[in-house]
Amino acid sequence: MNSHPAVCDLLIRNGYVVTMDGGRRVFPAGAIAVEGKRIVAVGPEREVTAAWRGRRVIDAGGAPVHPGLIDGHYHVTMHGTRGAMSDDPSKPALGGASGISPYGQWFNAMTAEDEYASAQHASLEMLANGYTCFLEAGTVFETDAVAEAVTAVGIRAVLGDPFLWDLTGSMAMAAELDRAPADLARCLSVIGRECRRNEDPDALVRGHVAVYGSGSASDDLLLAGKEAADRHGVVLNQHQSLEAGGVAREDERLGRHPFVHFAELGLLAENTTYVHLNILREDEVEAIVGSGMNVIWHPANYQFYAVGRTTPPRIPDLHGRGVNVALGSDIAKLWTIGEGPLVGYLLAREWGGYLTAEAMFEMQTCAAARAAGLGDRIGSLEVGKRADIVIRSQHRGESHPGLNPVQEMVLIGRTRTVDTVIVDGEVALRGGRAVRVDEDAVHAASRASARRLAAITGQTPGTIWPETL
């Protein structure tokens, strides 16, 4: 122990520090010391302040302090579709005379400026909700523009190569995108390209391997994806088993259930991350448990697609059997980023199960870091990890009476109590406002882009009530 405190860049004191470390330690009167981009001390305040003196000090006011939240699945360039696609499930999925789906038309109409505007809006909304990183779904065309947008806001992203698919039978959109034809040669020519970003150890935006999945990839493409992920030390990520129609087509094509097939191909491993899994059969559950693979769960999508009419949710059971489960928001269309814990908790309850608030919080932090392939860098407050830190506010009713701060934060306050967000040791949000970008300008650009794309794609969004000018 030093007799004189050492100096660090930032000291956060007077926090209810939820570390999410291996022991899930909580320091009710805790402090964190940050030097440069990394955490150098975390623990009881009396110990941390005896050893460290901060050039800058933030008093958390007794509020919870925790690792930055991580979204396991986000289509960052589709943020502007919010409100454009009908929320009425009776409306046909195919739009216009072209026969191309609304999302397909939107992807086809987007320019690099549109992708930038959507990504910056989404990143800003994530930041304001305490999210410091997301795993993108591999649906960005202009990845450099998106990387620039995300970095300007000051959060992290893990991008994939654009639309890796080579089969059109099970997934309609794989036949719709002019710029990303379903073609194995095209995919093999770009696969793993985004991993070039990982050569810079300090890059906020990194790369991984994403194939689109859900029946749009041949075995050759899936195996090439796994090989590239192994070679680059990243995760292979894909959609799978979202809704009944697509799963039935895959059963037919493969002659067996998808996860049984993936297991035989050798794809289920600690560096593979599968998204959705709304429909799983018993033989698939057995293939997944113990494989080490990661699951990204979107409980609101399970409900939106009315999957429960035919299939119970299996993910609470997978979680109970030790599978690494994290949450993803997909596209924040009828919900916003950060609603997953409450929706997942209630979905489990609806079917007689129980997931604790603590389990739901793991799905937003350490489990999500592992699923994104970044478990050694982020997802917990530990010495040596990147200083991605969220400080909550005590100035809202949802933060009280404080008898169970974790439950209050995860299920009741959710993300509305986020006050300050630090990424890589730098303050990116203070008092609920972004520090690095002009929020009004970001929102104006997103509104203009979304209106233009809605007009091009023939969407006629708006309330069903008459609007009088």
CB of 121 to Zn ion, least distance (A): 18
Cβ of residue 274: shortest distance to Zn ion, in angstroms?
A: 11
- Segment near Zn ion (CB under 5 A); pick from 95-103, 329-337, 363-371, 377-385: 329-337
Quick one: which segment of 136-144, 204-212, 279-287, 304-312 binds Zn ion (CB under 5 A)? 136-144
Least distance between Zn ion and beta carbon 103 (Å)? 10
Interface residues for Zn ion in 370-399 (CB under 5 A)?
Answer: none
Compute φ and ψ for 460, nearest 5 degrees: -125, 70
Running DSSP on this structure, what letter comes out for residue 76?
Answer: G
**Looking at beta carbons only, is 137 or 337 nearer to Zn ion?**
137
DSSP assignment of 338-372 equals: T-HHHHHHHHHHHTT----HHHHHHHHTHHHHHHT
Nearest to Zn ion of 14, 303 (CB atom): 303
Nearer to Zn ion, 68 or 72 (CB): 72
Q: Which stretch binds Zn ion (CB under 5 A): 299-307, 324-332, 413-421, 457-465?
A: 324-332
Residue range at the interface with Zn ion (CB under 5 A); choices 155-163, 278-286, 330-338, 386-394? 330-338
Query: In whole angstroms, how far apart are CA 343 and each of 79, 304, 340?
Result: 20, 11, 5
Closer residue to Zn ion, CB minimum distance, 217 or 442:
217
Residue 119 within binding range of Zn ion, rule CB under 5 A = no
Neighbours of 369 (CB within 10 A): 26
Contact 229, 156 (CB under 8 A): no
Task: Give least dist CB 13 to Zn ion, A.
Answer: 40
In the bound state with Zn ion, the residue whose beta carbon lies nearer, of 114 and 330, is: 330
Q: With respect to Zn ion, which residue has the nearer C-beta, 139 or 459?
A: 139
- The only residue of 40, 100, 117, 137 in contact with Zn ion, by rule CB under 5 A: 137
**Is position 330 an interface residue for Zn ion (rule: CB under 5 A)?**
yes
Q: How many CB atoms lie within 10 A of CB 28?
A: 13
- For tokens 């949802």, the residue is 398
Least Å from the CB of residue 263 to Zn ion: 22
219-232 vs 258-265: helix axis angle to the nearest 10?
A: 50
Shortest Cβ 300–Zn ion spacing (Å): 12
For residue 352, the minimal CB distance to Zn ion (Å) is 28
Size of the site for Zn ion (CB under 5 A): 2
| Minimum CB distance to Zn ion smaller for 210 or for 411 | 210
C-alpha 466: how far from its chain's center?
37
CB 319 within 8 A of CB 359: yes
For CA atoms 304, 222, 365, 124, give the dihedral sign.
negative
Q: 137 or 442, CB closer to Zn ion?
A: 137
Residues 51-80 that bind Zn ion (CB under 5 A): none
From 95-103, 135-143, 158-166, 374-382, give the range in contact with Zn ion by CB under 5 A: 135-143
CB of 392 to Zn ion, least distance (A): 29
Residues facing 85 on adjacent strands: none
Residue 297's DSSP bridge partners are 327
DSSP for 109-178, written as a single string? H--HHHHHHHHHHHHHHHHHTTEEEEEE-S--S-HHHHHHHHHHHT-EEEE--S------SS-GGGGT-T
Residue showing tokens 């995760």: 235
Task: Work out how close the CB of 303 gets to Zn ion at its nearest, in angstroms, rounded to a whole number.
Answer: 16
Closer by beta carbon to Zn ion, 35 or else 330 = 330
CB 390 within 8 A of CB 65: yes
Chain residues in the site for Zn ion (CB under 5 A): 137, 330
